[in-house]
């Protein structure tokens, strides 16, 4: 717990360290204040020292940073050459890798050096925790502009106290718990093979909200599962998922006596439903091909299956066969377009709209 608190203090104090306003004694004093302790061990000292070596201005040297504590004996004796070294190694038995993994949101090997962990946190490797918005007492954070404004009518005691003060980031944000939860969520996304650019977009778009991030990640995972690799396919999938949430089984399978619907998906008959499904697939593929080839070329490729002047009517009751017909036309024209999503899309809808076979009918076995 102490090492985690120290990292939080250092992270919050980094702007002051970079500007040269904060010295080593400021960090140690704050650490003692929050822990109630009076000494720090060699590992903790090296962590603090590395922070100043890494971020302090050139005019703030390591000996200057430690001045006032080396002589007072409040810091345990340093390991040999720790003050003169430009890059110091923290003994691995001083690093809580489980805690660091949760904090950084990445799986760790278990033998990383302190420099490697700092590099991950800064984002030079995998760390993206800095993208999660920090919120401070007394201030609202605008996720769009990245600016802070004072809470106009605060009701929480901490906000009341800090609303009348300039924003002070030295003591860390008030949403540490939320950020820790998001770090764990990021780690789970990595375990599920989410790529870093995808994770970055989810974090940015969700504004650090875990629930919103989970919804976005679910959508991304669903799109990957269905191979929805274009915007048109993703919009079609989103509409399908919304209908699955909004519509009941009678709407999907038909025979809705309350709304006088006999066919599936609100159609009069099953044939009407499959015809509409074929039309959706055709228009979706055409929209994608328009972007790839241009409108004239796209129409030329799929003209044999057009609603007017084409031969689409033969597939009116068989969406699977219609998909195969489109694939054949694309192959004949040597068009590289993946139809996997449309196969999955049709297959899912056909499963949703196929009525269950009843075990009993009119009192006897069917």
In this predicted structure, the answer to whether residue 175 has a pLDDT above a threshold of 80 is: no
Question: Could you tell me which residue, 49 or 123, shows the higher pLDDT?
Answer: 49
> Of 64, 94, 124, which residue sits at a domain end?
94
In this predicted structure, the answer to whether residue 323 has a pLDDT above a threshold of 80 is: yes
The two tokens of residue 321 are 């066969």
One domain for residues 336 and 269: yes
pLDDT tens by residue, 287-318? 999 999 998 898 899 888 887 666 777 888 89
| Whole-Å CA distances, 350 to 123, 221, 286, 346 | 45, 22, 22, 6
Q: 102, 121, 127: which is closest to 51 by C-alpha?
A: 121
Residue 121 inside a domain? The answer is: no
Residue 358 inside a domain? The answer is: no
Residue 27 inside a domain? The answer is: yes
- Residues in Cβ contact with 206 at an 8 Å cutoff, skipping those fewer than 6 apart: 212, 213, 216
Residue 82 — very low, low, confident or very high, per pLDDT cuts 50/70/90?
A: very low
What total number of domains does the chain contain? 3
Owner of token pair 């875990």: 210
Check if the beta carbon of residue 355 is closer than 8 Å to that of residue 270: no
Residue 36 — very low, low, confident or very high, per pLDDT cuts 50/70/90?
A: confident
One domain for residues 152 and 206: yes
Burial class (CB in 10 A: 0-12, 13-18, 19+), 278: buried
**Per-residue pLDDT at 256:** 54
**Per-residue pLDDT at 248:** 82
**Per-residue pLDDT at 10:** 84
Q: For residues 270 and 212, give the distance between their C-alpha atoms in angstroms, rounded to a whole number.
A: 37
pLDDT tens by residue, 182-203? 777 877 777 777 777 777 778 7
User: To the nearest whole percent, how much of the chain has pLDDT over 70?
Assistant: 72
Owner of token pair 């999938």: 237
Using the CB atoms, write b or e for 196-220: b if 16+ within 10 Å. bebbeebbeebebbeeebeebbebb
One domain for residues 268 and 341: yes
Question: Could you tell me which residue, 258 or 58, shows the higher pLDDT?
Answer: 58
> Of 206, 226, 246, which residue sits at a domain end?
226
**Per-residue pLDDT at 187:** 76
Residue 152 inside a domain? The answer is: yes
Residue 3 — very low, low, confident or very high, per pLDDT cuts 50/70/90?
A: low
First to last CA, the chain: 67
**Could you give the count of Cα atoms lying within 13 Å of 236 in the half-sphere of its Cβ?**
26
Q: For residues 134 and 157, give the distance between their C-alpha atoms in angstroms, rounded to a whole number.
A: 19
The two tokens of residue 73 are 């004996």
Mean pLDDT, residues 16-30: 82
Q: 130, 125, 128, 287: which is closest to 200 by C-alpha?
A: 128
Question: Could you tell me which residue, 92 or 75, shows the higher pLDDT?
Answer: 92
**Per-residue pLDDT at 359:** 56
One domain for residues 285 and 347: yes
Classify residue 80 by its DSSP letter.
T
The two tokens of residue 289 are 């091909």
Residue 102 inside a domain? The answer is: no
């Amino acid at each position: 717990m102490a090492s985690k608190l120290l990292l939080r203090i250092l992270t919050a104090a980094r702007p002051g360290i970079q500007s040269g306003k904060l010295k080593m004694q400021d960090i140690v004093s704050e650490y003692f204040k929050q822990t109630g302790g009076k000494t720090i061990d060699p590992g903790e000292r090296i962590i603090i020292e590395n922070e100043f070596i890494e971020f302090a201005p050139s005019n703030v040297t390591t000996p200057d940073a430690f001045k006032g504590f080396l002589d007072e004996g409040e810091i345990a004796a340093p390991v040999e050459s720790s003050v003169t070294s430009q890059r110091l190694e923290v003994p691995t038995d001083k690093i809580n890798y489980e805690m660091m993994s949760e904090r950084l949101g990445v799986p760790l090997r278990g033998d990383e050096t302190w420099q490697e962990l700092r590099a991950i946190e800064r984002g030079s490797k995998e760390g993206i925790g800095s993208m999660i918005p920090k919120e401070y007492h007394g201030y609202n954070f605008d996720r769009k502009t990245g600016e802070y404004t004072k809470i106009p009518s605060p009701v929480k005691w901490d906000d009341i106290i800090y609303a009348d003060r300039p924003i002070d980031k030295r003591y860390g944000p008030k949403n540490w718990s939320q950020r820790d939860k998001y770090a764990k969520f990021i780690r789970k996304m990595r375990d599920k093979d989410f790529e870093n650019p995808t994770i970055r977009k989810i974090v940015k778009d969700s504004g650090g909200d875990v629930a919103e991030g989970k919804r976005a990640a679910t959508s991304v995972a669903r799109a990957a599962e269905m191979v929805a690799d274009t915007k048109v396919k993703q919009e079609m999938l989103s509409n399908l998922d919304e209908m699955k949430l909004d519509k009941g089984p009678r709407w999907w399978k038909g025979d809705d006596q309350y709304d006088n619907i006999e066919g599936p998906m609100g159609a009069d008959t099953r044939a009407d439903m499959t015809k509409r499904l074929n039309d959706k697939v055709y228009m979706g593929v055409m929209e994608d091909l328009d972007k790839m080839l241009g409108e004239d070329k796209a129409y030329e490729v799929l003209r044999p299956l057009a609603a007017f002047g084409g031969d689409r009517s033969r597939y009116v009751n068989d969406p699977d066969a219609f998909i195969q017909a489109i694939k054949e036309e694309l192959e004949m024209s040597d068009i590289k377009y993946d139809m996997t999503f449309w196969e999955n899309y049709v297959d899912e809808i056909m499963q949703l709209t196929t009525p269950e076979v009843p075990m009993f009918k009119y009192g006897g076995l069917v």
